[in-house]
Chains A and B, each alone.
Chain A
Amino acid sequence: MFLAVAMDASGIPAAKPHYADAKATYVTLVDPQNALSDALGFKVIPNGFLIDEAGVLQFMQVGGFDVKRQRSMTAVEDFLARAPVKAGAPAPKAPSDSERISQLKKTLSGEPGNAEAKLQLGKVYLRQGKPDAAMPLLKDAAASMAKSPEAQFALGSCLLAKGDKKAGVAQLRKALKLDSKNYVIRKQIWLVEHPEKFHPEIDWGWQREQLRKELAAEGGGG
């Protein structure tokens, strides 16, 4: 089973044309809120995660995963050749959206100031395409969790979803300042600010120069 996940803050509209161009016959997903990068801890792409039948991670390549490369292909071939893993005890499953919303609302009814609950509820609404419902929750969460790149990124994504590019980028920059090595955030800012450098072709020379400039400005060297 091949799953492709687009890490695009702009969501389905950004990813869909590329899946169409690729005539994708595999499972095509999108992760506009970086839920996967938060859960697995990656800050660059492209990545490959090989997960067995029991849901256990058997191999990962963070950065540079490309099935056209021998290194990546060898890992995939070896993984697929392995004997199937027998199912063990059922692994815990995440609650459905409706269960999650119900849980988080219950938490917030008892603890109206619970910023983490607001953040998570806002992210569920945002993923469901309800930025208006998400906005007040994410604003509160970002204000209460000023040191959380996740909270700042979520609010930035919500602002972008509502079409407020200027405020959205400013918020993404707050997230990047808190997590300056996070290229998933950094490059999404570039895409919003300089779409012409990404469509119809990616300007890799521009990206290298932009990265050099930004790292120098941040005092991180190049």
Chain B
Amino acid sequence: MRRATAGAGDGSPLHEGRAQGTPIRSGAVDCGMTPLLALTAVLASGPIEVGQMVPDVTLTDMDGKAVRLSEFRGKKVILFTWASW
């Protein structure tokens, strides 16, 4: 998991981003991004918005078993996406 966050503060456009949502306190959206980073963040924005139902995506666990996001309904979920690269 170290790799998922390593370098997050290096200023790379690959690792900066945007925040959206009500839990965040004031000032969080204004994260001091440079124009390049801001552009990257806008380009990174997707079709889902805060307040929408999250699609029931099917993923795979470490045993190769299919896991649907809907299996976690009824619980607060912190979904973190990372990669080994």
Contact = CB atoms under 8 A, between A and B. Distances in A.
A156 B8 CA distance: 28
Nearest to B43: A181
B54 to A, nearest CB: 5
Interface of A: 1-8, 10-12, 14-19, 21-22, 24, 27-32, 35-37, 39-69, 71, 74-76, 78-80, 82, 84, 87, 91-94, 96-97, 127-129, 181, 183-184, 187-188, 190-191, 198, 202, 204, 207-208, 211
Given A21-B2, A78-B23, A128-B66, A43 B12 contact: no
Interface in B34-54: 40-41, 43-54
A17 B1 CA distance: 10
Nearest to B41: A63
Given A1-B78, A4-B82, A48-B80, A66 B1 contact: no
Contacts of B8: 46, 64, 66, 68-69
Contact of A39 (B7, B19, B48, B62): B48
Grouping DSSP codes into helix (H, G, I), strand (E, B) and loop, the B interface class, with mixed when no group exceeds half, is loop
Given A4-B1, A64-B16, A127 B82 contact: no
B17 A64 contact: yes
Contacts of A211: 12-14
Contact of A12 (B52, B56, B62): B62
A35 B57 contact: yes
Contacts of A75: 19, 21, 23-24, 28
Contacts of B3: 18, 198, 202
Nearest to A82: B23
Given A79-B78, A188-B85, A204 B10 contact: yes
Grouping DSSP codes into helix (H, G, I), strand (E, B) and loop, the A interface class, with mixed when no group exceeds half, is mixed
Contacts of A78: 23-25
Contacts of B55: 39-40, 94
Nearest to B47: A41
Nearest to B66: A97
A174 to B, nearest CB: 19
Contacts of B25: 74, 78
B31 to A, nearest CB: 7
Contact of B28 (A71, A79, A128): A71
Contacts of A82: 23, 76
B84 A45 contact: no
A160 B25 CA distance: 43
